[in-house]
Amino acid sequence: MNPFRYKNGVLHADGVSLADLATEIGTPFYCYSESAISAQYRAYVDAFADQDAVVCYAMKANDNLAILRTFAELGAGADVVSGGELQRALAAGIPPSKIIFSGVGKTEDELALALSTGIMQINVESFAEMEALSRAAVAKGVTAEIAIRINPNVDAKTHDKISTGRKQDKFGIDIELAADAYRKAAELPGLDAAAVAVHIGSQLTSLDPFRAAFSRVAELVGELRAAGHDIRRVDLGGGLGIDYDGAAPPTPAAYAAVIKETVGHLGCRVLLEPGRNLVGNAGILVSRVIYTKDGDDRDFVIVDAAMNDLIRPALYDAYHGIRPVAEPAGGANLQRVDVVGPVCETGDTFTRARDLPPLSAGDLLIFDSAGAYCAVMASTYNARPHVPEILVKEGQFSIVRARQTIEDMLRAENFADWQTAVN
Ligand SMILES: *Cc1c(COP(=O)(O)O)cnc(C)c1O
């Protein structure tokens, strides 16, 4: 479902006029549709209705508290990658029994926090971490249920910076060492190796790499069981892509079919960690044109959002659809423009040579597919405050993160003790 549609010539978000919202809140701002998130979550629930599967939302995609609350109310679990994320998930009411803790560099404090909150599973990514977790569990007198994250050496055929399942990537334990890793886990006190985990990358648009990785997982589970390990769960990570540019990725149903085909016979509970696929197309960034500048070589549209608000084009050469909030007249001539932000970096370019309907100063536009890996990656570079986040649902809206103020930014800092005050 695309909740961002034109109505009476104005783009609306689930029934709320974005022009009205912009007047009330100012620009830029993120806007998320709760209905779209629920619909996508339900698509997973339906797709996996005949499998014992738990959806643990990979909250690094979008960790706004109201988004997490949406998932908690839907009954989802969470995949967290830091102590901070764990605390946010708990604050949003996601039950510890549905929380997975992933990541290559969990600190002792983070492991202790995970153990004291009693989460479902800690995904261990190295022998050193396994030892640290064993020590922490013994110190607390508890047993930690773990998965060992395996690096299956499968190329996810996605952007280099978001590939995680190749030998040269920092994630997981090489599949060749998996037998040793499980043997070691069985020897160490305080650990119960209940699961095998993989996560091969993000924004995958083909099912083939999933099929290859999950088949390796299934084979490994067979070997581990033969060696006496009690493997009850497989954690298959996330990574299913979304439509950014008109090329539709596989549906949750097609993804579920691959999972059934590859690991269905194991009798394991299946843990899923989708992030982007659940929220990516449920959000947009709304911005206003400050100036247009027609150059000799190219024409620029300068907007009030920038790379500090939405870094994906600069970081991954990512494509985001751009649409004006005022519906363009049918047959309007397109103009070839670069859309750029005000930050003093050439990288602060959202798109080059894109054919867009005519845009002038004061016009509102949106960046589509901005629900995942956008607001969470924002910074205050160039002393630009964090922008607000709005949640909409069937004609209602709520400000779920207020616009940061310059005062907020200044309050967090101080002069050094030996410096003089400014009067
Ligand atoms: C990032 C991540 C995910 C989610 O990836 P998406 O592409 O957003 O689905 C899932 N699991 C782990 C371990 C991750 O690091």
Give the tens place of pLDDT for each residue, 133-152. Answer: 999 999 999 999 999 999 99
Percent share of the chain, pLDDT over 70 = 100
Does 79 contact ligand 1 (Cβ within 6 A)? yes
When mean pLDDT is compared across 49-63, 73-87, 149-163, 358-372, the lowest value belongs to: 149-163
Q: State how far the Cα of 3 lies from the Cα of 1, in Å rounded to an integer.
A: 6
Q: How far does the centroid of ligand 1 lie from the alpha carbon of residue 237, in Å?
A: 6
Q: How far does the centroid of ligand 1 lie from the alpha carbon of residue 238, in Å?
A: 5
Q: State how far the Cα of 34 lies from the Cα of 210, in Å rounded to an integer.
A: 28
Give the nearest ligand 1 atom to 61 CA.
8
pLDDT for residue 354 is more than 70: yes
Give the nearest ligand 1 atom to 239 CA.
7
Does 239 contact ligand 1 (Cβ within 6 A)? yes
Does 275 contact ligand 1 (Cβ within 6 A)? yes
Q: How far does the centroid of ligand 1 lie from the alpha carbon of residue 164, in Å?
A: 10
- Please state the rounded mean pLDDT for residues 148-163: 88
- Please state the rounded mean pLDDT for residues 347-366: 97
Does 280 contact ligand 1 (Cβ within 6 A)? no
Tell me the pLDDT band of 26, cut-offs 50, 70 and 90. Answer: very high
Cα-based torsion angle of the residue sequence 66, 124, 234, 165 in order, rounded to the nearest 10 degrees:
90
- Please state the rounded mean pLDDT for residues 37-66: 98
Q: What is the pLDDT of residues 55-78, one digit of tens each?
A: 999 999 999 999 999 999 999 999
- Please state the rounded mean pLDDT for residues 368-383: 98
pLDDT (0 to 100) of residue 156:
83
Q: What would the two tokens of residue 127 be? A: 């022998």
pLDDT (0 to 100) of residue 69:
98
pLDDT for residue 11 is more than 70: yes
pLDDT for residue 191 is more than 80: yes
For residue 191, list its beta bridge partners.
144
Does 252 contact ligand 1 (Cβ within 6 A)? no
pLDDT for residue 370 is more than 90: yes
pLDDT for residue 386 is more than 70: yes
Give the nearest ligand 1 atom to 203 CA.
7
pLDDT (0 to 100) of residue 21:
98
Does 274 contact ligand 1 (Cβ within 6 A)? yes
pLDDT (0 to 100) of residue 161:
81
Tell me the pLDDT band of 157, cut-offs 50, 70 and 90. Answer: confident
Tell me the pLDDT band of 1, cut-offs 50, 70 and 90. Answer: low
155 class by beta-carbon count within 10 Å (0-12 exposed, 13-18 middle, 19+ buried): middle
Tell me the pLDDT band of 169, cut-offs 50, 70 and 90. Answer: confident
pLDDT for residue 170 is more than 90: no
Catalytic residue among 31, 268, 344, 374: 344
If you take atom 3 of ligand 1, which residue's CA is the nearest one? 238
Domains contained in the chain, CATH given: 4-32+280-411 (2.40.37.10), 34-277 (3.20.20.10)
pLDDT (0 to 100) of residue 197:
98
Q: How far does the centroid of ligand 1 lie from the alpha carbon of residue 255, in Å?
A: 15
Q: What is the pLDDT of residues 220-238, one digit of tens each?
A: 999 999 999 999 999 999 9
- Please state the rounded mean pLDDT for residues 405-419: 97
pLDDT (0 to 100) of residue 276:
98
Does 62 contact ligand 1 (Cβ within 6 A)? no
Among 102, 125, 281, the mutation site with the greatest number of ligand 1 atoms within 8 A of its Cβ is: 102
Q: What is the pLDDT of residues 305-346, one digit of tens each?
A: 999 999 999 999 999 999 999 999 887 799 999 999 999 999
Q: Which of 46, 45, 89 is nearest to 70 (CA)?
A: 89
- Averaged pLDDT of the chain: 96
Active site residue 268: no
Does 80 contact ligand 1 (Cβ within 6 A)? no
pLDDT for residue 183 is more than 80: yes
Give the nearest ligand 1 atom to 277 CA.
9
Q: State how far the Cα of 34 lies from the Cα of 13, in Å rounded to an integer.
A: 10
pLDDT (0 to 100) of residue 159:
84
Tell me the pLDDT band of 29, cut-offs 50, 70 and 90. Answer: very high
What is the DSSP pairing of strand 4-7 with strand 299-303?
unpaired
Give the nearest ligand 1 atom to 241 CA.
7
When mean pLDDT is compared across 62-76, 166-180, 264-278, the lowest value belongs to: 166-180
Q: What is the pLDDT of residues 112-133, one digit of tens each?
A: 999 999 999 999 999 999 999 9
